[in-house]
Each structure stands twice: as C-alpha cells, then as structure tokens.
A and B are shown apart, each in its own frame.
Chain A
Amino acid sequence: MSAALPALDAVAVVVVRGGELPPGADESAAEAGAAALLVGDGTEGARARLSSARTVWTVEARLPDAGVLAEVLAPLLARVHTVLLPASSDGRDLAPRLAVALDRPLLAGAVSVAGQGAEVLRHDGRQLVELAATGPFVATLLPGVRGAEPADGDPVTYRIEARWPDAPGGTHTLGTVAPEAGDTPLPEASRVLGAGAGLGGGTAVALLAGVGRILGASVGATRAVTDQGLLPHDRQIGTTGVVVDPDLYLAFGISGAAQHVGGLGSPRHVVSVNTDPHCPMTAMADLGIVADAPAVLAELARRLEAPHD
C-alpha cells in the first residue's frame, strides 16, 4: 500500500463509474505513456477493460464531490509532471479542481499532450493553439483524437487506500439514470442517421425518425441539434455525448466538427448530405451529396414509404 505515485512524466487519471471506463480512457492512458490511475467504484473491472496501460494504480471509492476528490488525489499525484484526464464528463469536472489542488495550470481540451505542453482546440474546434507550460501541469485530452495502441500483457497494478475526509460536503449523488430506451441503444446501433444544424428544424428531425425506422437505423445528432432541444441530449453523438460505432452513418447537414466525429467510431460507410462540398463530413464520406438536406430527407421519406412494385 504505497501512499503516492512515484515521480513520473505523465499519468492518466480516469474516473470510473460502476466499473465502466469513460470515453477517451484508453487514449489518455496511451498519451500518458501507458500509466493510469483509476478512481471510482468498480476499478477492478475497469482495469480489466483498460487495454493501453502497462502500469495501473487504483483508488476504490464511492465518488464524492469533485472538489473533495481533487483534495484526496492531489497528494498522490504531487510528483507526477503531467496529469492527464480524458475530457469526458467526469474528467472535465475533476481536472480544474485537481489543477487548483496541485497549484498547477490546466491545459484543457487538448488533442495532443507532450513533454512541456499541449495542443488544445479553441473556437469550436476550428483553431489549434499550442501551449507551453513552465512547469508541471494538468491537461484534459479530447476523446477520439488519437486512437490507442493496446499494451501487451497484464498491467502491473497497485492498489491505493486513500484517506477520505470524515464528512465530505459538496454535491451528493442521488442516483444514476440510464438513457431513454430507444429501438436500439445508439452505442450498439449498426446503422445511424445523424441530424445536424443543416437539417433546419424540428419537422425534419421528426421525419428522420420515420426514415430511421424503415432503414433500421437509430437517430443521433450533433450538439447543435441537441442544444436546440430538438432531440434529447442522449442522442448527441460526440466526445461529450454518446460514442457510436455503426457500419453505416448517414449525416444530414452535419459539418463534421472534431468533437462530433470523435464520437463516431470507425463506420464502414459514411454518406454526407450537405450544401457545402468542402465540409469535413463530406470530405470523410464515401458518398458526399451536395444538396439541400431537408429536401433530400423529405424525398427519401416519400420514396421509402412508396409501395414496392
């Protein structure tokens, strides 16, 4: 039962819930040189799922408030130069608090982290800023930007018994809610129809659901769509939403921002319907159709419902 991590160049700090790894866990561990600290409930199971780490520390705990968690973890991480967290919900929650507790800067939203700094995305993912830190730092890595190479063999594992405050204050979890049950849960769907801002509005989005039923596809969306409240948040595909891995992805009016594509897995076939032939989504598509997405969707719905002859 060692009290703290040794002096390391980098370690990934990964928050685990019910044995589940957050998106970007493997990538963060890989980016951090195959070292990871797992904290949360079910770290043992999560460790088995983490494929890219060679050394793993686990801290088993019922997750407290992010501020409390940061205070407990900071002493363990004092000798680690780069503390890297996946920019998942819990990672983004914890990273700033760890930075404060360790008295270090936070380099948030990175696409790559190396030695003395990180390359971070700004302006909705359109701009890359290279930042250099003068000393040790904390960073968050956007999921889906690098991929991860599996490490061979079982990782060396150290369990840490952390010391928790007697009466931790702060935010208190009352319970977890599973995503609304659709036909097929989005992460498992083999065909996904994606709704983007270019689809225009509610009516088209509603039409998409109908087309999805005929094609046996689930409906996902970009943040632009879920932010407008046109679809529930659990339909948001991307680094801060759901990660999918379908065979077929049909994108309607989606520009293909890094944060969206980051949650797309590696679909075998991609079709993009967009008025802009140069947008990244069309650039990565097997078939790019330059056309008005709402009109194409309306026509598609009409044709698919037409009886066979």
Chain B
Amino acid sequence: MTERMFDVVVVGAGPAGSAAALTAARAGLSVALVERGPHPGSKNVYGGVVYGRVLDELVPRWWEQLPAQRWITRRSTMIMTDRQAVTVDVRAEAWGGPPYNGATAFRADLDGWLARLAEEAGAVLVPSTVATGLLRDVDGMVRGVRTDRPDGDLTAGVVIACDGVNSFLAKEAGLFTDRDTAQHNSLGVKETLALPREVLEDRFALRGRDGLDMEILGCTRGIPGGGFLYTNLDSISLGVVVGLKGLADSGVRPEELLADLRAHPSIAPLVRGAELKEYTAHLLPEGGYDTMPELVGDGILVAGDAAAMCLAAGVWLEGVNFAIGAGMYAGRAAVEALARDDTSLAGLAGYRRMLEESFVLADHRKLRRVPGLVFSDRVQQRYPALLCDLAEEFFRVDNPRPKPGLGRLLRRTASRHGVRLRHLLSDAVTGWRSFG
C-alpha cells in the first residue's frame, strides 16, 4: 500500500469540519481540511444563534474568543396568526455572563474562528477546493477523496464528511438508505436588516451586548415551518424556514413569506426604518433522528448537517452546536481507530457510541417525534389560531357579561377551529414526552 498523505481528511470547513479537524490535529494526527469556498464561512448561511456549551470541551473559556455579536439573554417564542400574536418571553440575566448560554454571531466570523483554531492545532486548510468523490481500495474501504484540482487525490486513513446538507460524500459512500431526501429538507431564507445600535437596543429593551433570540410559529401561511428574529450588534436577522415539499406544493415564494413576516403587526414596528443589507437562502435538513443516514462506513464518518443533525423544529433552530459536537466525536473516533490501526466500520464504531451518550443523539432521539408534530397541519395552522383566539378572548373585557371560564373558552375555541380535544390531548402527550 502506498503511503497515505494524511491521517485524516475532513471535507467541509463548517462548524462540524473544523471541530473534527481541531480534535484530530490536537491528538497529533496529520489532518487536511478541504473547503470549497475561498475562506471558511464564505458560502455559509444560517440564522445567527450559536449555543456555545458544547465548546466547553474544545476551547476552555471560549466566550473570551468567540466572535460574538450579542449574548442571548432574552428568548421569546411568538405564536401568530395574520392579525394576532401571543409571545412567551424568557429573560435570564445570568445568560449574559460567563459561562454564557448562546450568542449571535456571523457565520464567516464563527467559521473563520473555528477553522483558525484547527489550523493552529496543525491541520492544513485547503481552500477553494471541492471534494468530488471518494477514493476506495479494492475492498471498498474509503481511502481518501478526489478533488477538483489537478492531481487532486487526497489519500487518508479516515475521511470525515462534513460537507453539509445533502452531503454528496455520504450519498456516494452509500450511507443514505432513504433516497428521497428532498422531503426532509427545509429552505431557510434570511434578511439582514441594519438598524443603528441605539435604536435596536431601545426597541428590543437590550443593554450592552445583550441579545434577543425569537422563534416564531404560524407565520408561514400554513406551510410547515417557522420564523426567527435575532439581534446582532447593529442589525437584525429575520428569516423563515419552511419545508421544501410544502413550499413547492403551495406555490408561494419564500420572499413572500418573509415579506408577510416583515409586515406583520407584531414584527413591523420592530424592523421599521431598517435598511436591507443582505438576502440569503440555504437548505437545511429538518427531518431529525428518523432521517439520519448511517453515520459510519468503512473508513468514513459523517457529521453535522451532512448527517441531518440539525434540529429545526418549531421553537428550536439549532444545528451549529450539534455539528460541533458531532465533529468533535468524529475526530475522537478517528483518533482511536487510527491508534488501533483499524479504520473499518467496526474500528470506527466508537463514533456512534459517543454520539448516543452525548446530547447529539440523545436530544435527537428524544425529539424524534417533534418534526412530525411541529410540521403537522394542526400545529402549523390550527393551534396558532386557536391559541391566539383563546388568549384574545381570555383577556378581552366583555362587561357587563361575566368572564367565561377557561375550560369553556377552550372548548368553544377548539370547536370553532375544528380541533378535537382528543387530538389536542394526544399532541400534548407527544409534546410532553418530547419536551418534558
């Protein structure tokens, strides 16, 4: 066998890839980190909130280095209809200091920072280079990747595929058993709206570097999905994430949804006068646990969005933390396997085990029913209206008539929205099992 060029080749310098490269390089392995864009993060899009707890293991006191825009101290969930909105607003001052909870950050900043850490640990970043295929030996074992450069083969002991949603490498490795992935993809569209810093802080009742993270349900004309509004230092990220299939069936254009949201009576005052700076769109996997590919093959591991590890369900929009976690464990599994000189499926099996024991798969398993629930017609269409009506009626003062009891209001509103109490109950149980 010819000498391999690297111990590990990581494809994709997103959060997953950089975490994998960092972990492997720190353990003394030779690592190549192949990235399509001219610099990490150059082509990547996301909403803007990163939950840093997962970094504790990788970067001690990461909050002193993370290129954060604002620290999340307010988390709101807004449920809306065309003309109504009910908001649950959580404010935790403690999140605004070490060890922090979440932060808004720009992707180019975040990805650049993580990739730099990997480089400092010894990984070789190979930018402007696309992995175009897998190299295999006679037994079908993955031995590296092919790239679009002349003489572009990169041989390695282990390939870690972190190439994002619709991973080409995971597909080529035959790790996706389910071919129909379009069903499980969502489209995220996002606008960055600039506001002067003082105006933004006044409007959102924020101080210093405090920030708001708002998830929105019921803003997608019944297309399965949700919206978000995040605050950066002097701009707002406003976006919607909708299921591709629902979007295609509805014939609605994603910009229209975004325009609706921008014009909604609860959102319009928040973004008034803001200048549109950027409009971006990106796919993300939404199906969760049940749509994940095999995570391990002979000589190959899959991590992050490439393995559908994004949690995009209703009140959550988390992918970066899962990607970082998975990348870290993939790095560790590669280190262990190479130490034992067994990079076969069996030798790399430690990856799956580490994921199962950590939040990465634990959360996903626990929340496996959530995508189905959140994307159900009831949650998407009827519950927001029901809840908003309920709240509206509950708080309406109808003197001289006496206030109706909550139970009666609920029955009345539910039947008006065609929701059976039986279904409400069963959804509540699913919800409780997942979230409780």
Contacts and interface: CB of A to CB of B under 8 A. Distances in A.
Chain A in direct contact with chain B (Cβ < 8 angstroms): yes
Interface of A: 275-276, 278, 290
Query: What is the interface of chain A mostly: helix, strand, loop, or mixed?
Result: loop
Interface of B: 255, 276, 279
A242 B279 CA distance: 31
A275 B278 CA distance: 12
A275 B256 CA distance: 12
B248 to A, nearest CB: 14
A290 B254 CA distance: 12
A262 B363 CA distance: 57
A100 B343 CA distance: 66
Nearest to A290: B255
Contacts of A276: 279
B122 to A, nearest CB: 37
Contacts of A275: 255
Contacts of B255: 275, 290
A123 to B, nearest CB: 15
Nearest to B281: A275
A175 B234 CA distance: 56
B187 to A, nearest CB: 14
Contacts of A278: 276
Contacts of A290: 255
B282 to A, nearest CB: 15
A174 B45 CA distance: 51
Nearest to A291: B253
4 contacts: A275-B255, A276-B279, A278-B276, A290-B255
Contacts of B279: 276
A275 B276 CA distance: 14
B238 to A, nearest CB: 16
Contacts of B276: 278
A214 to B, nearest CB: 28
B252 to A, nearest CB: 14
A300 B158 CA distance: 50
A278 B275 CA distance: 11
A278 B255 CA distance: 13
A146 B255 CA distance: 36
Nearest to A292: B253
A276 B259 CA distance: 13
4 closest residue pairs by CB, A with B: A278-B276, A276-B279, A275-B255, A290-B255
A276 B255 CA distance: 10
A275 B189 CA distance: 13
Nearest to B275: A278
A290 B276 CA distance: 16
A164 B305 CA distance: 70
A290 B258 CA distance: 14
Nearest to A278: B276
B201 to A, nearest CB: 26
A276 B279 CA distance: 9
A276 B277 CA distance: 12
A275 B281 CA distance: 12
Nearest to B259: A277
A276 B276 CA distance: 11
A290 B255 CA distance: 10
